[in-house]
Amino acid sequence: MAIRLGLSLPQARQYDIGRDVPGVARAAEQIGYESVWVYERALFPEPATQGLYGVPGLPWPDHYRGVPDPLVTLTLAAGATERVRLGTGVLVAPLHNPFQLAKALATLDAASGGRLTVGFGTGWSLDEYAAAGVAPFEERGRILDEVLDVCRAVWGPDPVTYDGYITKIASSVVGPKPAGPIPVLLPANSKKALTRLVDRADGWLPVAMGSDQLAEQWRQVHDLAAERGRTEPIRVVARANTQYTPKAYDGDDRAPFRGSVGQIVEDLAAHAESGVEEFFLDLQSTTRDGQELQDVAAEVYEAVRTAGL
């Protein structure tokens, strides 16, 4: 079975959002990609009070400056396409009011004809939590659980009622409803997060950072699912953060998905041996504009299919 491929939409600062997002989304659909994806970065603290991913001293990449809102970006893509699925990889759920987020996602799914897949995460930026003002960083897991509960309620039949920590919904009609079930994916970097994934989500959203690591993580998900008696299949979509270069990278310490199109395809093949059958590629950080992103995306897709993946 051929692997399923998605493509991240252009959200970095070098792109023209109004022009490049619809253009890249249309091109991805025409090329053959099955999905398009967005991520969330709410702000860029300057000077940084916290390192990237919370690692002291690790600088934030420049392309995190001015990242557009993920749902507005997906809405632009939805209006420009007919077939591709629309994914968030990921939305930092606790930065959002749970009720408003659930309603916005239902509206986008209804408007797009049931094409939405939602990836939720908890994030790591203290500055983003302070700016959002929904809940403190220390309560991120609790708020993610409430977002999952509220989405289930709002997306379900009327009347909707909910009495939670920060969300209170009196008996109400809440529409529009999603066009179909919205798959919810979660990353999982701890035992608690893995348990939430197995118990509450439709699928797993890892970052592909090494073929052996991905295979081991996937085994852990399977093992915990068996331990907890889950019988429903777990969908998995792996994010591949690429650093594309026109020429092959010849260093001995080449990181996964860093290098030429051929090297990116080699890394996809290695990661697919883990049993993961769906990936989305983030090519945007090293392409200069929307047209170059489309050209590289087309070249990668053709090379993947030529390689029999």
Q: Write the DSSP assignment of 140-173 as a string of letters.
A: HHHHHHHHHHHHHHHHSSSSEEEE-SS-EEEEE-
Model pLDDT, residue 1: 62
Model pLDDT, residue 49: 86
Maximum Cα–Cα distance across the chain: 62
Over residues 249-284, the pLDDT tens digits come to 887 788 999 999 999 999 999 999 999 999 999 999
Model pLDDT, residue 264: 96
Of residues 143, 103, 152, the one with CA closest to residue 123: 143
Q: How many residues does the chain have?
A: 309
CATH number of the domain that 220 lies in?
A: 3.20.20.30
Residues in the chain where the model's pLDDT stays below 70: 1
Of residues 5, 76, 13, 86, the one with CA closest to residue 289: 13
Over residues 111-160, the pLDDT tens digits come to 999 999 999 999 999 999 999 999 999 999 999 999 999 999 999 999 99
Residue span of the structural domain in which 263 resides: 4-307
Number of folded domains in the chain? 1
- What is the token pair recorded at 219? 């085994």
What is the pTM for the complete model shown? 0.96
